[in-house]
Amino acid sequence: MRFLYYFFLFPVVLARLEPSTGLSSEQNNEQQHRKSLSSTISNLRWFFEEHKEKFEESVNKKSVNTGNNVRSSSNSMNNNRNELCEDPMNAVVETLECVGKGDARCANAGYNQREFRKLHNGIDTNTSINFVFWFGAFRILDFELRVDHVYQIGPNQISIRYVEVVTTTDGTGLFLDPSDVYPFSQTFYQHEHALVTVDKDCKMVLWDQTGDNKEQEDVEEIADAVVCRVNPFCS
């Protein structure tokens, strides 16, 4: 009998030990079911390894010499006595230009990889920023940011309102024959407003955006569909 008592008590104890997220049940459900672009790109890692030489060649052709790294190190020396980025608005805009060009090295240089978080409507998207993330994203998606306005709202923080135009690859980014049949060559629009925070080296540490959930989910779903054309193990 004592065994049965502890057997039924055990789930209750686990429930009490579970850490509280501070989110509503609706937000928790969304967080549990939301797929991030990071998880989608992770399904391409084996594909990158299989075509490593081709990918390395394409990266070398795409990469350009930008001012990101120079600006960052210069700010680091000039700001040893404080935590202020000299020009956060210009730093973010330059990085977004790198994203628009599909340059993985340049885009990655604008982020503090260890501290960066991306929120969508207050929910963490669990986006891990690194070179592999950008390299994978640019193989399956093209990004164009049509900025409506951008201005500095405080130390190390800017406000930016924009329409993000996302177009899926025609297939050639994954060494497939060009196609305009779903999920290839499809264009989506995301209407978003973000508060962006940078560190003293002018690298992004927080992208806190608001926008339509359906627009976000549409891009996540079609990115999965593209990856599944070359990954036989994806769900």
pLDDT at position 46: 66
Position 68 pLDDT exceeds 50: no
Position 18 pLDDT exceeds 60: no
- How far, in Å, CA of 131 to CA of 144, rounded? 19
Domain of 187, in residue numbers: 37-227
Mean pLDDT within 125-134: 92
Triad 159, 107, 129: Cα angle to 5°? 85
Per-residue exposure over 1-33, b if at least 16 CB sit within 10 Å of its own CB, e if not: eeeeeeeeeeeeeeeeeeeeeeeeeeeeebeee
- How far, in Å, CA of 136 to CA of 230, rounded? 13
Position 73 pLDDT exceeds 90: no
- Does 101 reside within a domain? yes
pLDDT at position 119: 97
- Does 139 reside within a domain? yes
Model confidence band, residue 151 (pLDDT cutoffs 50, 70, 90): very high
- Does 129 reside within a domain? yes
Per DSSP, the three-state class of 46 is: helix
- Does 163 reside within a domain? yes
Mean pLDDT within 189-200: 98
Position 95 pLDDT exceeds 70: yes
Domain CATH number, residue 133: 3.10.450.50
How many helices (DSSP H) and strands (DSSP E) are in the chain? 10, 6
DSSP one-letter string for 127-174: ---SHHHHHHHHHHEEEEEEEEEEEEEETTEEEEEEEEEEEE--SGGG
Per DSSP, the three-state class of 20 is: coil
Residues forming beta bridges with residue 198, ordered by sequence position: 204
- Lowest pLDDT segment from 52-56, 157-161, 213-217, 222-226: 52-56
Type of residue at 179: S
The number of folded domains in the chain is 1
Mean pLDDT within 8-15: 36
The mean of the pLDDT values for the chain is 80
- How far, in Å, CA of 101 to CA of 222, rounded? 21
- Does 208 reside within a domain? yes
Q: How far apart are the first and last CA of the chain?
A: 44
pLDDT at position 12: 37
Give just the sign of the alpha carbon dihedral 134, 138, 142, 144. Answer: positive
- Does 4 reside within a domain? no
102 vs 32 pLDDT, higher one: 102
- Does 183 reside within a domain? yes
Q: Listing from the earlier edge strand, what are the strands of the sheet with 204-211?
A: 123-124, 117-120, 204-211, 187-198, 157-168, 141-154
- Does 17 reside within a domain? no
Per DSSP, the three-state class of 196 is: strand
Model confidence band, residue 56 (pLDDT cutoffs 50, 70, 90): low
